[in-house]
Every structure is written in C-alpha cells, then in structure tokens.
Structure 1
C-alpha cells in the first residue's frame, strides 16, 4: 500500500476551471460532519503520527449557528462573534436589499447551501480560534492544503506542528464535553494527489480515521504541481479509492485540464463523489507565492511516474510520529477579475454535491452567490462555495496572511442571508 510523506512546506493554490456539460447520476451526498477524536504522540523528527482509530468517527448534526455565544475565545474570534451577536435570521419574505435576507423572487431562495469552505488555514491562525468559530457556525468548513514540497514552508500550508496543536485543542474540548463537530476538508496537491489518482488510499484513510477529515479535494493540475497529461487513464484506479472509503466525500476539481477525467466520472458518478467548479475562462490573479507555482514544470509530479509515491510514506508517518513532532482558490477562489466570472452550470444529475470558487471575496460574495444560484437553478442540489485567495491580506508584516477580518465578513454574509442548508451529515444519511 502506498502512503505519502508530509514534509513541512506551504504554498497557494490557483486554478483556472472550465465548465462541464457531461451528465452523472447519483444519490444526493450533501456534506459530512464528524467529531474529530485526535491524539498525537511526540517525535522529534518533524513528522506526525496519528493514533489510528478503527472506529468510524462519530457524526452528529451541527446546529445552524444561530446561537451566538462564546467562552474563552481569542480576541479576534470574540470580536467577530460580538459583531454577529444579536443578529436574527432574516425572514425569507424579507425585502431584497444589500445585506438583508432572501426575497420571494431572489435566486438564493432556491439554493440548497451546504458549506462555506474557508481554505488555506495555516500557522498564522490559532486552532483555538477555528474551533471557537466552528462551534458557533455549523456551515463553516476549513480547507487545509496538503502538498509535500510546501507543507509548513509557505503561507496557506499549515505545518505539522500546527496540525498537532489542532488535534490537541479538539481533544481538550471533547474532554470538557463542550464540543461541536468541526468540518474539515483536505485539499491535496502535488505527489499526495498523484498517489491517490494512482489508487493509493492510505493517506486519505489516515486523514479520515485519525484527523477527522470528511472531505478530500483532488486538484490534478499543473498549478497544483501535477503533470495533468493523460489523466483519463487513471479513471479505474481513482474509482477504486473512492469506493474503498465510502465515509469520505471525494471532490474532483473540474478544469480544462481535468475535463476528460471529470466528464468520465460524471457519466457514472459514485455516491461519495462531488465536483468543484472554478470560474470558467478566468485566469486567477497571481499572488506572491503563486507565480512560481504557475510556472511549475509540466513534468512535475506525474501520474505516470513515482510508483507508490509519498502518500504511503506520509500515512506511515502520520500513524507513527509522537507528541511534539513538528509539524487558492486562490486556488483562484479569491482572485479578483475585472468582469464577473462565468459560473458554469453543474452536471445535470440533481443529487451530486457541487462547489464553486474563483474570484470570490467578501466584497462580491453576496452578488456571486446569486449568480451561482442562478447557474445551479435546482433546489434539490446541495452547493458549497470555497474561498482562499479572497481571504488573504498583503502589507507590511503581512505576507499573504490568512485574514480573520475577511473570514468574519464572509461568515456574516452567509448568516445574514439565512441560506437554507441540507442535512448536516453526509455520511450518516447514506
């Protein structure tokens, strides 16, 4: 079995996505919630070992997040909650105004909203703050980027030490009994993505069993450090991984590069498969750390090479390291575009969970949500949105920093709109 090696790096994730017309058929997935039971042992080699738990992580429905209370939060987290405190969920009959709820003729009225995925969390934000936010707003999902050559070394890629701290914080809250499930999604690039495409389920299994990641996004594109030529020939091996872990929702990024593989999967979709669409035909704005990425050599980690790549090694290290081990979207999700991006319609089958990203910021989120809702135009289809670059800030002493102010602004928009949400637990409903 292959496994992946997590080394400490970090980088951004940018991607140009194409629309899709192909059709899949499958039952509605929605999204997953899981109580994350994590314990980490310490090893001085800078790697993490997770204590493998054979049990399926407990899944529980999270409350809608309308209860706004806070205890022991960080100052930024407390400030955000205080800003939202006292806000009432607007009536669906409310007049459509900027910042006010959903009106009768409003496209958002028919949007089955699942998650606000806030991606690129890294060492600049404390795990305690993430837990505080998640316990108040159940629609928030945290996207954690994984790429062996960048982990802990660049912004947007949390270090192994940070992941250890996150597990310890979750353990602490579980022991006190004051704990609500937290949604996590692992965004795999580089060799981690390569190994999954080649049929290696070990890293994904470890992320699910030991770290509570219930969704895994694959981005087999050049901008994410993957040679994307001939992706379609890995259809069978990828499907085998998806089938092996029905408790995990796999997300495939739909781009011009992945079109052949994406459409083949849409023709015969598996129940735990979802698709993520970035703004079509839009080139994301380069970020300081994305220029080197966008010029990654096409012969970078290839699906045709690196047998039993780093995934096997990483899963092994995740299972064997000890306490104290070290540890967008912009993948174009937050890139700014001079004109509104085109939001492609999803594949025709209504049950398939779909996500949209690219060119999203707190400033345009409300309008883009309406455009996405109009493109989907199906009250049966669960939809999530993903921001990464739109959550970053630049400036003196702030190099591509995860900006909690922008995070709170996005959360407030979703909360104020009172968007309807599908069932809270994807896996439990299957």
Structure 2
C-alpha cells in the first residue's frame, strides 16, 4: 500500500486515542512491540485471553504475557513512552468478570494493562443467554477498578449487556456510562467484516470502531470514519481496532502476527492526520 494515496480529510476535532492492533501472540517477540511503541506511542497492543486456546495463534500463554509486561516495565524505568496494553477477555476470562470475579482483573492490572475489553459473544466462547443478569456484577467490578478502562462490545448480540449499563442509574445518569467505560462498535462481532456504514460517536460516552479494518481496507475506510466522527462531542476520543487482517501465513503454513501490516496501517493513519505527531 502506498501511504501517499490516503487523502487527509480530517479536521482538528478528529484524533485517535489509540490505534489498536489485536491478536499479538507468541509468533512475535515483545521487544519488537516495545520498539514500535517507542516510535509510535498511540499504538495499543491487544492480547486475547481465552484459557481453552492458550498457546495457539492469537492466544499467548502466560509466560509470553509476562515477557510483554516486563518490556512495558523496562520502558517505564527507562523513561521512554510506555506501551499501551489492552486485554481482550474471552471465554472463561470474560465469564469471570461478568459474574463479578476480580481475581484475573487484578493480575492484568499488575501486568500493566490499562484497558479491558469484554468480548461477551458466543463466537468468543461466552454464554450470552443471561447477559442482562450480569450487569450488576459487572458494575461492581468496574467500580472496584476506577483506573482501568472497561470496553464493552456494542452489537445486537451484546445489547442486553450494554443497554443494561446505559439503563442503570446507580453508577451514572441514565443513558450514559461510568467514567471508565467505553464501547467498541463492531457488528461483525470480531469476524473482521466491514460494516455498511460507520455511525457517529454518541454524545454520552466514548467509542471505538472495528470490523474489517486492516492494511487492505484502511485507505478506503479512514475517510468514512473521519466523516462520521467529525464535529461530535467525543470525536477527539475515538480509537480504531483490528485483528483478523493483521495475520499472515508463513511458507511453512504457520499463522502469525504480521508487524509489517501494522506499519502499513500506521502509515495510513499518520498520513490522514489522525494522530498528533507524524513520525514516519
């Protein structure tokens, strides 16, 4: 992809909080991610946690996560820009949070994760039959960790969960969310399918965009996202996230996280003027 083909149509009101690259795993060394973050501090590395798939592509084992956490610690101690880490909870890990269990959340905080995304969908191994009943338990977890940001997938399948949060008046005014909660708009539910359109940010809470984003689609989709987000209250607080299109297959047939594709996406985002500092 040639970054020069990206036309900047953005206004100063549209900037990215994070550029999310999800699915980092044991196919890449954490120090490579650290080096990328040092140059591009808006990058956020998303780690998928699902116990029944640990050690397979996209789902690293705990030993690798500890290496990643150590890289973040080294950056902090060295005085350089720290790495942004997001935990994407699936399967048992998501179910634990939904029933109010804070054990793994505490571990994630110790590892240096700043954001936690609850992937409460069937494709991510979560029982979605009683999501509405989990809202009070989830709120208790959210309130116990005010310094962590919790991300809820907003789609038709997760509606009982996010609508329950919006309707609850114990933690925030009706129609809004607690200060440390945001939503990811992804109707593809993590399957990497481009949406028909990108809705504008609501006035009550922060959002991110996902679904089909990657090096092959970023040029055509960025102007659409910019147009949707322009001149809205939270237009300076959006982020974009991607996963499936960051994968490649080696000559041996191995599926791996492709950092070159992250560089391609990052170049397009910089060219479009969606980050405060262009350093490419």
TM-score for the superposition, normalised by structure 1: 0.58
Q: Shift in Å at residue 360 of structure 1?
A: 1.0
Alpha carbons 2:10, 2:272 under 8 Å: kept: no
Q: Which residue of 2 aligns with 1:400?
A: 255
Match of 2:267 among 412, 415, 419: 412
Q: Shift in Å at residue 170 of structure 1?
A: 3.7
Q: Shift in Å at residue 238 of structure 1?
A: 0.8
**Residues of 1 paired with 2:201 and 2:75: CA distance?**
40
- 1:76-131 per-position Cα deviation (integer Å, ceiling 9, x unaligned): xxxxxxx99xxxxxxxxxxxx7235x2xxx25654232111000000111111011
RMSD between superposed Cα atoms in Å: 2.4
Secondary structure of residue in 2 paired with 1:149: helix
Alpha carbons 1:112, 1:380 under 8 Å: kept: no
TM-score for the superposition, normalised by structure 2: 0.87
Q: Which residue of 2 aligns with 1:156?
A: 58
Distance 1:174 1:259, change over 3 A: closer
More helix by share: 2
Q: Shift in Å at residue 379 of structure 1?
A: 4.3
**Residues of 1 paired with 2:273 and 2:111: CA distance?**
30
Count of residue correspondences = 266
Distance 1:200 1:412, change over 3 A: same
Q: Shift in Å at residue 402 of structure 1?
A: 0.6
Summarize the alignment of residues 5-404 of structure 1 with structure 2, pairs less than 5 Å apart.
98-100=5-7, 102=8, 106-107=9-10, 110-152=13-55, 154-175=56-77, 177-208=78-109, 210-266=110-166, 267-278=175-186, 280=187, 331-332=190-191, 335=192, 341-345=195-199, 348-350=202-204, 352-381=205-234, 382-404=237-259
More strand by share: 2
**Residues of 2 paired with 1:254 and 1:365: CA distance?**
21
Alpha carbons 1:108, 1:370 under 8 Å: kept: no
Q: Shift in Å at residue 407 of structure 1?
A: 1.0
Distance 1:398 1:252, change over 3 A: same
Distance 1:99 1:126, change over 3 A: same
**Residues of 2 paired with 1:171 and 1:398: CA distance?**
34
**Residues of 2 paired with 1:404 and 1:108: CA distance?**
29
**Residues of 2 paired with 1:193 and 1:386: CA distance?**
19
Secondary structure of residue in 2 paired with 1:118: strand
**Residues of 1 paired with 2:101 and 2:32: CA distance?**
33
5+ residue gaps, structure 1, are 1-82, 85-96, 283-328, 422-430
**Residues of 1 paired with 2:72 and 2:14: CA distance?**
32
Q: Shift in Å at residue 366 of structure 1?
A: 2.5
Q: Shift in Å at residue 171 of structure 1?
A: 4.0
Alpha carbons 2:38, 2:80 under 8 Å: kept: yes
Alpha carbons 2:269, 2:275 under 8 Å: kept: no
Where relative contact order (Cα < 8 A, 6+ residues apart) is larger, the structure is: 1
Distance 1:364 1:108, change over 3 A: farther
Q: Which residue of 2 aligns with 1:316?
A: none
- 1:223-275 per-position Cα deviation (integer Å, ceiling 9, x unaligned): 00011012111111111111111100000011221112212223241110000
Q: Which residue of 1 aligns with 2:169?
A: none
Distance 1:167 1:112, change over 3 A: closer
Secondary structure of residue in 1 paired with 2:92: helix
**Residues of 1 paired with 2:72 and 2:147: CA distance?**
21
**Residues of 1 paired with 2:5 and 2:181: CA distance?**
35
Larger radius of gyration: 1
